[in-house]
Amino acid sequence: MPPFELFPPIEPYETGRLRVDDLHELYWEQSGNPGGKPVLFLHGGPGAGASADHRRFFDPAHYRIVIFDQRGAGRSTPLGELHENTTDHLIADIERLRELLGIARWQVFGGSWGSTLALAYAQRHPERVAALVLRGIFLSRAREIEWFLYGLRSFFPEAWERFAGHLPEAERGDLLGNYLKRLSDPDPDVHRPAAQAWSTYEGACSTLLPSPDTVAAFGRERTAIGLARLEAHYFSHGSFLGEGALLRGVSRIRHIPAVIVQGRYDNVCPPITAWELAQAWPEAGFEMIADAGHSAMEPNIRRALVRATERFKRL
């Protein structure tokens, strides 16, 4: 295997379902080395769900790799459920999973929304986090959400026109509110096309160079419904975080070893956010990838992420 490429595909050695309340049941899995260093992978979105490739950022001979689908996402049920679905619920779910698996501390790895959740979890439970690998930083501030909804038009006008064009012209001044109405509608003929319009917009903007495979993956019905419905829900509530709370909370986690990886041409989560996080956290490693957009699968993003997990093997 070339240095710092993804590790070969592997299958989980254990899978399970964790019922966290009367409504939500979470899919989880473990792969790699059962006696190895625990690492938790947090997927993006919110609502995107995890995939088999996400196991491949970690050396399976060294790491005990824990992956789960967050409430309403992926293989967790009910898909796209908004009730009892907040950042506090997700943090509590992580703790339930940690306790279920008998893990005292783990390394936490998250990109995009996964970076948001990783920071929120670490600031709530710093004693449980051995290290952080963060990619494509999203702090869920109002200006970041506004950028996603409207600012991306400056760089992806055709994708934005398709996204906004799903709504009548009179409703485009409040894309978030009017999309959320459609995404929450119980009628599949209403929520399904809205979800696919939202999700494929994000997919089209996620890579430095056009990637039809990425757009197609984002457009798959199950992915689209979880991603679009939960993103609109979380965005409409500022991800249930106070404005700027994650930056203010950095003082609680500055002692935790961390690496921040950011694509220079990331339009979904622009580099200024990662820069501001790195300025507030000088102890963290910070790597700006010169030839990458947002996706974790951009070649030099994935290499930087594997470099980070390899480096943290020595902790």
State the pairing for strand pair 14-19/25-32. antiparallel
User: Taking CA 199 as the corner, what is the angle to CA 195 and CA 202, rounded to the nearest 5 degrees?
Assistant: 150
Q: Write down the catalytic residue from 24, 54, 191, 294.
A: 294
Q: How many CB atoms lie within 10 A of CB 216?
A: 11
Please confirm, yes or no, whether 154 is among the known catalytic residues.
Answer: no
Q: Write down the catalytic residue from 59, 69, 93, 266.
A: 266
Please confirm, yes or no, whether 185 is among the known catalytic residues.
Answer: no
Q: Which residues contact 87 (CB under 8 A, 6 or more apart)?
A: 116, 117, 120, 234, 239, 240, 241
Q: Write down the catalytic residue from 112, 140, 206, 295.
A: 112
The DSSP call for residue 267 is S
Q: In whole angstroms, how far apart are CA 294 and each of 71, 163, 270?
A: 23, 19, 9
Cβ(195)–Cβ(219) below 8 Å: no
Residue whose C-alpha is closest to residue 73's, from 228, 211, 186: 228
Please confirm, yes or no, whether 266 is among the known catalytic residues.
Answer: yes
Q: With residue 27 as reference, give the H or E element that holds it.
A: strand 25-32
CA 99 to chain centre: 22
Structure token digits, residue 118: 């990783």
List active site positions. 112, 266, 294
